[in-house]
Structure 1
Amino acid sequence: MVPPEKQQTMRIVEANASDAAHIALLARITFTETFGHFFTDKTDLHQYLNQTFGVKKIRNSIEKPNNIFWLAFIEELPVGYAKLKLNSPSQFITAENLCQLQKIYVLKDFLSKKVGHSLQNELLKRAAESNSERVWLSVLKSNVRAIKFYEKNGFETIGDHDFQIGKEHFEFQAMAKNLT
């Protein structure tokens, strides 16, 4: 058992526009940790990071009413983030009121601290409060750790789709979970 003085305190907060820089930095690092090794041309990776995870773009995304972001802190360090998109249809689901778990990313050094689970709990709670029938997500087919995490938490595979970044082709699977 870890003595109380040695336990690390985790805190999850709903993000606002002033948190955009933390989220942008976490997004760049965690995306590179997760997908960077797939890129044969690092220019494609850097272009994607610049166009997708800029502070201004993240700030604009946070300010959209259908987007909700959370930040996870351990001992005051930002170590992970999550994003829920309300009213987000899927080609794989015919239900009307859907939301999308767009992102849960945690720095590799903190994966064992259950940060992803805590972020997911906050996200699913808000999704249920929004009266959404189901929540869906996309996950890289080769990301076995993430797929097992989602399956363990009640998500089921509902389809497959592809995604292209620069010269790289990625195969994803869509997963969904009932909220009602």
Structure 2
Amino acid sequence: MLRIYPATPADLEALREVGCTTYREHFAHIWSPAGLQAFLDRDFSHDALRQSLETSDSPLWLLASDDNAQVVGLAKVNWSAPAPITGEAGAELRKIYFLKSAAGRGYGKRFMQFICDQAVERGERSLWLTVLKSNPDARRFYEAFGFKWIGEIPFKTDLAEIGMDVMGLELQRQDG
């Protein structure tokens, strides 16, 4: 069973650890070692995470843990953020990462549904995200969940110009 819960300042170290580990597992190949470390220092440093977790209008950081209470994934959602290309405000799925050892267990679908439910509860009408053009598996996952391609935006690392696909999902409130 996957347990999904909002991260608090008390979870800072677990958030930093799973963030750095998952990002290295999935994206180290697109960066030089120094570029990767600079990215991790910027996005997952203690100071950056503390500030993000403690700000009143902060994004929602979520952690996911398995049956053994091991943190296996994280997500970051920004509320009412303007989507690139369209400018339409919606929930932005900024990050969703799982440890490679947690793959293939249906955790991603459960996490996505939880995020969609949270967005609907907050009154968001859409959920949007960006995915690396060089990551067709992730794009297929999002398409299977109902996301539609909106367009492309630039993205580069210190090694290459890769580009990102912008994808969006219209959210529907479940009445009943």
Counterparts of 1:26 and 1:169 in 2: how far apart (Å)? 26
Mapped partners of 1:51, 1:155: distance in 2: 29
1:165 positional shift:
2.8
Q: Secondary structure at the match of 2:161?
A: strand
Which stretch shows the higher mean deviation, 107-116 or 159-168? 159-168
The 3-state SS of whatever aligns with 2:163 is strand
**TM-score (norm. length: structure 1):** 0.88
Aligned with 2:147 (options 155, 161, 172): 155
Alignment-derived partner of residue 143 in structure 1: 135
Match of 2:2 among 2, 10, 18: 10
Kindly indicate whether residue 22 of structure 2 is the aligned counterpart of residue 30 of structure 1: yes
**Deviations 1:50-88, CA, capped at 9 Å, x for gaps:** 122112211211223241111111111000011110011
Tell whether the 8 Å contact from 1:80 to 1:116 is kept in structure 2 after alignment. Answer: no
Aligned to 2:52: 61
Q: C-alpha displacement at 1:94, in angstroms?
A: 4.1
Report the number of matched residues. Answer: 170
> Superposition RMSD on alpha carbons, in Å?
1.4
CA distance in 2, matches of 1:128, 1:10: 21
Normalised to the residue count of structure 2, the TM-score between the two structures is 0.90
Identity %, equivalent residues: 28
In the alignment, structure 2 segments of 5+ residues that lack a partner are: none
What amino acid maps onto 2:127 in structure 1? Answer: V
**2:30–2:159 Cα contact (<8 Å) kept:** no
Deviating above 3 A after TM superposition, structure 1's stretches of 4 or more consecutive aligned residues are none
In the aligned structure 1, how far is the partner of 2:162 from the partner of 2:168? Answer: 19
Distance 1:103 1:140 in 2: 12
